[in-house]
Amino acid sequence: MPSISANDLKIKGIFAIEAMLVNQAEATISVRGKERFVVMGIGHYHYLRKCELEAALAQTHSELATGRFTKGSAEDHIFRLKAAQ
């Protein structure tokens, strides 16, 4: 994944990010030679978010279909969470 240095970002601003995202969906920002952040266009972010939500929904459907769930009140759920700590 291509990287933008923090110094380039400071000097060139948003143009450094825009230039990196012309040919790829994501780029990293490195600080002192270490990758620290990932930047992406909003369209790609929305796509990834949609994929994440669809995966969670698929997991929920799978758990419902196989009976891996419990019924109870919100208080029951909080009790189970605290007991698991």
Per-residue pLDDT of the chain (85 residues; tens, 9 = 90+): 889 999 999 999 999 999 999 999 999 999 999 999 999 999 999 999 999 999 999 999 999 999 999 899 999 999 999 999 9
Structural domain boundaries enclosing 67:
43-84
Q: What is the pLDDT of residue 2?
A: 84
Residues 80, 49, single domain; the answer is yes
Residues 33, 66, single domain; the answer is no
Instruction: Decide if 4 contacts 20 (C-beta within 8 A).
Output: yes
pTM (2 decimals)? 0.71
Residues 47, 32, single domain; the answer is no
pLDDT tens digits, 54-67: 999 999 999 999 99
Residues 7, 36, single domain; the answer is yes
> What is the edge-to-edge ordering of all strands in the sheet holding 3-5?
3-5, 26-31, 34-40
Residues 80, 64, single domain; the answer is yes
